[in-house]
Structure 1
Amino acid sequence: MMTWTELTHDWASGFALVKSRFPELDERDMPFLKLDRARFEAYLADRHNLTMEEAREEFADFLHVEALNRECEG
């Protein structure tokens, strides 16, 4: 599974991937949110009308799929 640390390490590329899965994210909000996964997940829930549990699950699924994509490419 891709980790939060891996995702935020190259945030420019990472945000493009996240935005493609979660289109309601606003890049202007990211400088502070990318520092804290819990805050990011709360923001994700709010912007996409999800519960916190749904946001956590959706984001974990996103990280898992991206890790699989990286394995297939590598």
Structure 2
Amino acid sequence: MAWTKLTENWSENLQAIARRFPHVSAQMLDPLKGELMEISRVIAQTHDLSEPEAREELENFIDLPSLAREAVDFRSHDAATIAATSPHKDLHHPRS
């Protein structure tokens, strides 16, 4: 999820951030909407992280939903479709 997507549904995502980083509250972060660097700074201070570490953790957290969607999309292909589109499909169905 891009940072802009995160801020579009700020109140819901704010609660998710507060659950992921339990030493900060939604009330602490709410005024910082759209300020990735400031949110990272607060997370760093409250979670004994450096600011780059906190920013990386926050960015990974933001990217998790899109990674989960990609995994679901990948798993949604059935084995027959995967075998049929595989560059090595002859290995999947050897000739008799």
Q: Same fold (TM over 0.5)?
A: yes
Partner of 1:30: 29
Higher relative contact order (CA 8 A, sep 6+): 1
| Distance across 2 between alignment mates of 1:31 and 1:19 | 10
Q: 1:70 to 1:16 in 2, by over 3 A?
A: farther
Deviations 1:15-67 (A, max 9, x none): 12212211111122223211311111111111111001110111111112122
Please, which runs of 5 or more residues in structure 1 have no aligned partner? none
Residues 23 and 46 of structure 2 are in contact (CA less than 8 Å); yes or no, is this contact kept in structure 1? yes
Q: How many residues align?
A: 72
* Runs of 4 or more above 3 Å deviation: 70-73
Q: Percent identity?
A: 32
Please, what TM-score do these two structures have when normalized by structure 1? 0.80
Partner of 2:60: 61
Q: How does 1:1-74 map to 2 (within 5 A)?
A: 2-71=1-70, 72=72
Aligned residues: CA RMSD: 1.8
- Secondary structure of the residue aligned to 1:49 is coil
Greater Cα radius of gyration, structure 1 or 2: 2
Counterpart of 1:17 in structure 2: which amino acid?
Answer: A
Partner of 2:80: none
Please, which runs of 5 or more residues in structure 2 have no aligned partner? 74-96
